[in-house]
A and B are shown apart, each in its own frame.
Chain A
Amino acid sequence: DAKTTQPNSMESNEEEPVHLPCNHSTISGTDYIHWYRQLPSQGPEYVIHGLTSNVNNRMASLAIAEDRKSSTLILHRATLRDAAVYYCILQLASGSARQLTFGSGTQLTVLP
């Protein structure tokens, strides 16, 4: 599986936008870019995924570079409940279920 690189930690002020970067220079053409987050003492939670185009959902936006070698997860207004470890993961497209390989992620701290 292609690897991703994320900063170990980031801080944000409450109600301000947060941009979480991810580098994936060895991404292949069939890799989807997934983002999950893990709140303390809970299982990971799906946030968003994309292939080539930018994506928006109720939780966040995903901006994908034109060459797909990097992406940015955007939380438009951070709340204290957004404090979590955010994982950027490349997932090979597959017709059958396939495991996710987690890296170390980015610990997001939201300051009141």
Chain B
Amino acid sequence: DIQLTQSPSSMSASLGDRVSLTCQSSQGIGNYLSWYQHKPGKPPKPMIYYATNLADGVPSRFSGSRSGSDYSLTISSLESEDTAIYYCLQYDEYPLTFGSGTKLEIK
């Protein structure tokens, strides 16, 4: 199975900060990677698909990028509502696999 390693596992940042979360794949997956935001008591919310495409309704301060087997989710200016756990998911091959998540908090 493809392993996705997310870093950091948790972090805190201040409102207005630029924040980048990383997801590294154990093998090549092309751009077949998506990102989800998960808040307690709610289902995951889709954020990014095919590595760089913004899902419907997602604010433009979110963006996705790829450098080789490293994928990033960047928030250009952190807002309080962005507090959540963020997971990456690869869908290049079965079984689809999620990363272990990055917990993002506001300082």
Q: Tell me whether A and B are bound partners.
A: no
**Using a CB–CB distance below 8 Å, which chain A residues touch chain B?**
none
